[in-house]
Amino acid sequence: ELKVEQNPLFLSMQEGKNYTIYCNYSTTSDRLYWYRQDPGKSLESLFVLLSNGAVKQEGRLMASLDTKARLSTLHITAAVHDLSATYFCAVARGYNTDKLIFGTGTRLQVFP
Protein backbone atom coordinates (compact mmCIF):
# COMPACT_ATOMS: atom_id res chain seq x y z
CA GLU A 1 0.00 0.00 0.00
CA LEU A 2 1.34 3.38 -1.02
CA LYS A 3 1.84 5.76 1.90
CA VAL A 4 2.98 9.36 1.79
CA GLU A 5 4.51 11.17 4.73
CA GLN A 6 5.28 14.84 5.01
CA ASN A 7 7.33 16.66 7.55
CA PRO A 8 7.17 18.90 9.32
CA LEU A 9 3.43 19.11 9.93
CA PHE A 10 3.70 22.69 11.09
CA LEU A 11 6.28 25.25 10.18
CA SER A 12 6.52 28.74 11.56
CA MET A 13 9.23 30.77 9.95
CA GLN A 14 10.41 34.32 9.78
CA GLU A 15 10.29 36.33 6.60
CA GLY A 16 13.53 36.17 4.69
CA LYS A 17 14.49 32.72 5.95
CA ASN A 18 14.90 29.51 3.97
CA TYR A 19 13.34 26.17 4.76
CA THR A 20 12.56 22.78 3.25
CA ILE A 21 9.47 20.58 3.41
CA TYR A 22 10.05 16.86 2.95
CA CYS A 23 7.80 14.31 1.30
CA ASN A 24 8.58 10.59 1.61
CA TYR A 25 6.61 7.85 -0.08
CA SER A 26 6.69 4.12 0.48
CA THR A 27 6.67 2.52 -2.98
CA THR A 28 7.60 3.42 -6.50
CA SER A 29 5.59 6.16 -8.09
CA ASP A 30 5.17 7.65 -11.54
CA ARG A 31 4.27 11.23 -10.71
CA LEU A 32 4.64 13.49 -7.73
CA TYR A 33 2.58 16.63 -7.23
CA TRP A 34 2.86 19.61 -4.96
CA TYR A 35 -0.24 21.65 -4.13
CA ARG A 36 -0.94 24.73 -2.10
CA GLN A 37 -4.16 25.27 -0.15
CA ASP A 38 -5.26 28.52 1.47
CA PRO A 39 -7.78 28.33 4.33
CA GLY A 40 -11.23 27.46 3.06
CA LYS A 41 -9.99 27.26 -0.51
CA SER A 42 -9.26 24.57 -3.05
CA LEU A 43 -5.95 23.07 -4.10
CA GLU A 44 -3.69 25.11 -6.34
CA SER A 45 -1.28 23.13 -8.49
CA LEU A 46 2.35 24.12 -7.94
CA PHE A 47 4.51 21.43 -9.54
CA VAL A 48 4.32 18.05 -11.24
CA LEU A 49 7.54 16.02 -11.10
CA LEU A 50 7.83 13.08 -13.44
CA SER A 51 11.34 11.69 -13.35
CA ASN A 52 14.29 11.12 -11.10
CA GLY A 53 16.31 14.26 -10.63
CA ALA A 54 13.52 16.53 -11.79
CA VAL A 55 13.75 20.05 -10.45
CA LYS A 56 11.19 22.79 -10.97
CA GLN A 57 11.18 26.34 -9.71
CA GLU A 58 8.54 29.03 -9.51
CA GLY A 59 9.35 32.21 -7.69
CA ARG A 60 10.53 31.43 -4.19
CA LEU A 61 9.55 27.76 -4.40
CA MET A 62 11.67 24.95 -5.80
CA ALA A 63 10.69 21.30 -5.89
CA SER A 64 12.89 18.30 -6.56
CA LEU A 65 12.42 14.56 -6.86
CA ASP A 66 14.71 11.67 -5.97
CA THR A 67 12.91 8.49 -6.99
CA LYS A 68 15.64 6.23 -5.67
CA ALA A 69 15.29 7.68 -2.18
CA ARG A 70 11.50 8.03 -2.69
CA LEU A 71 11.83 11.61 -1.55
CA SER A 72 10.67 14.96 -2.80
CA THR A 73 11.52 18.31 -1.29
CA LEU A 74 9.88 21.70 -1.52
CA HIS A 75 12.41 24.40 -0.77
CA ILE A 76 11.32 27.88 0.23
CA THR A 77 13.76 30.69 -0.37
CA ALA A 78 13.55 34.03 1.46
CA ALA A 79 10.02 33.41 2.71
CA VAL A 80 7.38 36.12 2.51
CA HIS A 81 4.02 36.34 4.28
CA ASP A 82 2.12 35.53 1.07
CA LEU A 83 3.56 32.02 1.17
CA SER A 84 1.59 31.24 4.33
CA ALA A 85 -0.65 28.28 3.42
CA THR A 86 -0.83 24.51 3.71
CA TYR A 87 1.32 22.57 1.27
CA PHE A 88 0.52 19.04 0.19
CA CYS A 89 2.50 16.53 -1.75
CA ALA A 90 0.70 13.72 -3.55
CA VAL A 91 1.86 10.64 -5.40
CA ALA A 92 0.34 8.75 -8.31
CA ARG A 93 1.19 5.23 -9.37
CA GLY A 94 0.57 3.94 -12.83
CA TYR A 95 -0.29 5.53 -16.10
CA ASN A 96 -3.74 6.69 -17.03
CA THR A 97 -4.91 7.27 -13.52
CA ASP A 98 -5.67 10.33 -11.44
CA LYS A 99 -5.73 8.44 -8.16
CA LEU A 100 -3.50 10.47 -5.90
CA ILE A 101 -2.33 9.53 -2.43
CA PHE A 102 -1.85 12.71 -0.44
CA GLY A 103 0.51 13.49 2.38
CA THR A 104 -0.76 14.96 5.62
CA GLY A 105 0.14 18.49 4.59
CA THR A 106 2.52 21.06 6.03
CA ARG A 107 0.97 24.17 7.49
CA LEU A 108 3.34 27.05 6.88
CA GLN A 109 3.12 30.36 8.71
CA VAL A 110 5.48 33.16 7.77
CA PHE A 111 5.75 36.01 10.21
CA PRO A 112 7.57 39.38 9.99
Partner 1 sequence: KAGVTQTPRYLIKTRGQQVTLSCSPISGHRSVSWYQQTPGQGLQFLFEYFSETQRNKGNFPGRFSGRQFSNSRSEMNVSTLELGDSALYLCASSHGTGNTGELFFGEGSRLTVL
Summarize as ranges the residues that interact with partner 1 (CB under 8 A): 30-31, 33, 35, 41-45, 48, 50, 88, 90, 95-102, 104-105
Q: Tell the smallest beta-carbon distance from residue 38 to partner 1 (Å).
A: 11
Q: Tell the smallest beta-carbon distance from residue 56 to partner 1 (Å).
A: 12
Q: Tell the smallest beta-carbon distance from residue 31 to partner 1 (Å).
A: 6
Residue 20's nearest CA partner among 67, 87, 101, 70 is 87
Measured from the CB atom, the residue of 40 and 112 that comes closer to partner 1 is: 40
Q: Collapse the DSSP code of 82 into the 3-class scheme (helix H, G, I; strand E, B; otherwise coil) and give the result.
A: helix
Q: Tell the smallest beta-carbon distance from residue 12 to partner 1 (Å).
A: 19
Measured from the CB atom, the residue of 50 and 78 that comes closer to partner 1 is: 50
Measured from the CB atom, the residue of 82 and 98 that comes closer to partner 1 is: 98
Q: What sign does the CA torsion over 31, 32, 36, 41 have? A: positive
